[in-house]
Amino acid sequence: MVIFLNFRQKLGLLKHYGSHKLFHNDLPKISNLYAKQMGNSTKDAATMISEHANRLEISIPRWPSSLNFSYVWLRDHCRCDACFRKDTFQRQNDILSLPLKIRPTYLSHNEKELHIQWPDGHFSKFDFQFLWENSFEGKKHSKNIIKPLTWNRNSFPSFDQIKVPPTVEATRETVEVICPISKTIYGEMWELQADLGMSDTAYTDEYLGSHTDTTYFSEPSRIQVFHCLKQASEGGESLYVDGFHIGEKLYNEDPACYEYLSTTALPGEYRKDGHHFVNVYRIFTHHPVSKKLMQFRCNDFDRAPLSTIPYHEVDKFYMNFQKLVKMLRDQRNEVEILLQPGQVAFIDNWRVTHGRKSFRGTRVLGGCYLGNSDFLSKARVHGLKFE
Ligand SMILES: [Fe+2]
Ligand SMILES: [Zn+2]
């Protein structure tokens, strides 16, 4: 249940459905603002540009530290009309024409911009805002000041909600305000109710342990939407666990176990009706640059035969995996929500697990998935930080 308040406003959901419940803002907004302001070097009289052998060092009082740019990077990032198409945001220069040993012949700057003259007469100017936002050091700093707030049963934050008519069409209309619905083997919209003819545990009325979905896809679905269409006569509460909280807890209590589950790969599988998906993944995935936890994947039902680990490491795998699943099933980490007909839950499937308590009667859920790229694209457009 991990999307943002201002997302709702910006996307006009309020206009569509009134002020009900849906999104929760779990990142400190102040940090986002702070990150933006850093780049605004509007009236800094004390901007310092120092020329070194292979780099320029720029310091602006409001930046937390000076930034370094190699000359070849600067030449590559020229944003003039000959080098870059501003309408399509695409480069016009061929990488092979980039001189690796280039140095400026002349440098100057004003309050807003850095100006560079190159040996062949080419002229580049760079907005300091652009340099801040796109430098390695600037990006690293922005990422460091944003920390997701993790939660458990006792610290689950309050969230706003939106209520829509309990129909599949209404779910679709709500979701499509955000981004296109993914078309998977389950179709675009699915409807789930107890059906003992189906082989999947999800379709029974039994307790369903907390898990993330589509671990067998090379890129798991990002947002999972659940819309309660009909509530069970008894039971059927949804169970959610914050995988980032589990990660944090495991890292603090047993760093070796966290390390093992971050580096050891296991296979997931889905095999049915002419489909056979297999994917080898790690339970905790980290960002390749910032190294921060980026994705949590865990599904005991869809584990494929364990062919990724040699026999002498197998004991270690089961020990660590059991430790993790115990934490996932610990009620202190689990948030229980009884969805009411018409309520829509948006779950970040790269972070939050879902499950359900057993129930009696007919319980019908509608839902769909949103892909990671489509969702993040919209999040970026609306200034939300997920990465
Ligand atoms: Fe599921
Ligand atoms: Zn240029």
- Please tell me the number of the ligand nearest to residue 121's CA: 2
pLDDT of 152 reads: 95
Domain 1-27+147-387: give its CATH code: 3.60.130.10
pLDDT tens-place string over residues 96-120: 999 999 999 999 999 999 999 999 9
- Please tell me the number of the ligand nearest to residue 201's CA: 1
Interval between CA 101 and ligand 2 midpoint (Å): 17
Residue 149: pLDDT band with limits 50, 70, 90:
confident
Q: Which fold has domain 37-143?
A: NE0471 N-terminal domain-like (3.30.2020)
The per-residue pLDDT of the chain, averaged, comes to: 86
Question: At residue 194, what is the residue type?
Answer: A
- Please tell me the number of the ligand nearest to residue 117's CA: 2
DSSP code for 96: G
Interval between CA 161 and ligand 1 midpoint (Å): 22
- Please tell me the number of the ligand nearest to residue 120's CA: 2
Domain ranges of the chain: 1-27+147-387, 37-143
Distance CA 245, CA 262 (A): 15
Interval between CA 78 and ligand 2 midpoint (Å): 5
Distance CA 78, CA 126 (A): 7
Picking from 191, 192, 194, 185, the residue whose alpha carbon sits closest to that of residue 172 is 191
Distance CA 76, CA 71 (A): 9
Residue pair 193/185 in contact (Cβ under 8 Å)? The answer is no
pLDDT tens-place string over residues 215-255: 999 999 999 999 999 999 999 999 999 999 999 999 999 99
pLDDT tens-place string over residues 162-185: 778 999 998 899 899 889 999 999
Picking from 276, 274, 294, the residue whose alpha carbon sits closest to that of residue 284 is 294
Interval between CA 208 and ligand 1 midpoint (Å): 9
Residue 145: pLDDT band with limits 50, 70, 90:
low
Strand partners, 56: 51, 69
pLDDT tens-place string over residues 39-82: 343 344 589 999 999 999 999 988 999 999 999 999 999 999 99
